[in-house]
Amino acid sequence: MKEIEQVYQSWLEPSEALIADIKKISGDILILGAGGKMGPALALLTKSAIETAGIQKKVIAASRFSEPGLQQQLEKNGIETHAVDLLEDDQLKKLPPVENVLYLAGQKFGTTGKEWFTWAMNVYLPGRVVQQYRDSRIVVFSTGNVYPLSPVSMGGLSEDHPTGPVGEYAQSCLGRERLFQYGASRYNTPLFIYRLNYANDVSYGVLLEIAKAVYAGKVIDLRMGHVNVIWQGDANEMAIRALLHCESPAKIVNITGPETVAVRWIAEEFGKLFEKTPVFANAEQPTALLSNASESFRVFGYPRVTLKQMITLLAEWVKQGGKTINKPTHFQEREGQF
């Protein structure tokens, strides 16, 4: 396991491009919603890039910090933390003014039956944040779920395609974008709307879910037969570097890997590495939730970690019993029910 850990840690180190860009970003960086799947790694990567660049800049992380020990871990690494409920205006207003905001706060799973809370987190809160940080640069984490399902033959939808969110979660995500765009229009706030799907780490993600299913001999539903994936570290780098590309009106960019990948192919690749035969159910549908990320490659370059590298590392991680978290992506969902 030690060798696999070393490879994993090497993929978390800041790239030369990130180190060069962090020097160009003026002011401190606040991460709102820093306690989720990507937030802790994003905070640590930002701090690492600053230290490697040899510059002085604060990284500030704000979250409820419901995961035991996470706040202390970030503090130990030199990150200033604030334990807050962002929906409470008095707590939100106590956060420090900064030049740069990475906005990760949001609600997805548990939407069904609690739609009101999802709309509060994904629409009401962005309106409050853009008002408070109207003079900052803001990178807004969004999702490819704002697009409709599209024919696989199209190779994914680009940023100029009309939105068509399916289900209340996706609708509220489009609402989040619209409230931030309102701020950009009213206050001339520079924004970068970052439409992500799907980030992958050793602890979570589409690839891990497929790997674990193959390893355990569980059935893999093929109805959502194609996906986009990107290494979390690459996605986080792009988020930080996006602070240099905030605009008003907002710049909107799809963030994912370059391939339109067949779920069947992914499972079969893991099957080879596990020496197991994947078990499938249902047939691939002609449409899927897919994004064309060519604009992100123009702006940031291609991801450093390739699809094959991710698959190989995750296969070893699963075989050796590496730690994972129980936060499924529900990438199979076609009706928008989260």
Dihedral sign (CA 179, 185, 186, 188): positive
Residue 3 has pLDDT above 90, yes or no: no
pTM of the shown model:
0.96
Q: What is the pLDDT of residue 334?
A: 84
For residue range 251-280, list pLDDT tens digits in order. 999 999 999 999 999 999 999 999 999 999
For residue range 88-99, list pLDDT tens digits in order. 999 999 999 999
Strands 59-63 and 29-32 come out as parallel
Instruction: Over range 273-296, report the average pLDDT.
Output: 97
Q: Report the first-to-last Cα separation within the chain, whole angstroms.
A: 34
Tokens for 219?
A: 């059935």
The band of 198, judged by pLDDT with boundaries at 50, 70 and 90, is very high
Instruction: Over range 206-212, report the average pLDDT.
Output: 97
The CA distance from 269 to 265, in Å, is 6
Q: Are 87 and 105 in contact (CB under 8 A)?
A: no
Looking at domain 2-198+231-257+290-304, which of 1.10.240.10, 3.20.20.20, 3.40.50.720, 3.40.50.10860 is its CATH number? 3.40.50.720
Tokens for 81?
A: 């933390």
Dihedral sign (CA 78, 68, 1, 217): negative
Q: What are the residue ranges spanned by the domains of the chain?
A: 2-198+231-257+290-304
Q: What is the pLDDT of residue 114?
A: 87
The CA distance from 98 to 190, in Å, is 14
Q: What is the pLDDT of residue 110?
A: 67
